[in-house]
Amino acid sequence: MLSDWVRNWTYGVRASAARMLGRLGVSPNALTVFGYLLNLPVMCVLATGHMQLGGILVAVAGLFDSLDGALAREMGQGSVFGAFLDSVADRFSEGTVFLGLFLWYLRNGGQLELVLIYAAIFGSLMVSYARARAQGVGVECKEGLFTRFERVILLAIGLMVQQVRLALWAMAILTNVTAIQRIYHVWRVTGREKQPKS
């Protein structure tokens, strides 16, 4: 996946930034919360139709989103709750950004865009839910073409080049394809088990 390649390629930079934040006394959980709060001005900017600025801010917020895990590793402060908080904050972040777009198109008659936003949010949630449920039954599930990293990058680029509808089409389709990929992965790993009849 593109996200794995980027994480490996940027590991040194992220680790250095994380160590600097750690020396300043920033905790991973505080950084997670701050990363979410950055999405609130993004929502406001998008809700007022400033798409290019919104794209830049989406990218900036995404950078902070990648640092909390690095900070936890570098400072030895990883925790079960921290991982849980990070995952929940990611869902809130996506919903907040999409809310800004939703409000703009709701006021400006973008009916197709509203449907695409719904489909993209639905697919995004199903990608995350499929992974969570897979882990609940003991299956590691990071499969799929379109993880959160790819979603953030695509949305940021789409906003900056003012091709929002195209980006929404891609997200609406690829998020749901990724959810299906994860369903198939779990089915394959579990050996195509048949459920006993009740």
Active site residues: 90
Element (H, E) at 7: helix 2-9
CA neighbours closer than 13 Å in the CB half-sphere of residue 152? 23
The radius of gyration computed from the CA coordinates of the chain, to the nearest angstrom, equals 18
Question: Nearest to residue 157, comparing CAs of 171, 167, 149?
Answer: 167
Q: CA-CA distances (angstroms) from residue 25 to 77, 79, 151?
A: 12, 17, 31
Q: CA-CA distances (angstroms) from residue 88 to 12, 33, 114, 121?
A: 26, 10, 24, 14
> How far apart are the C-alpha atoms of 94 and 132, rounded to whole Å?
17
Contact in structure between 18 and 65 (CB atoms under 8 Å): no
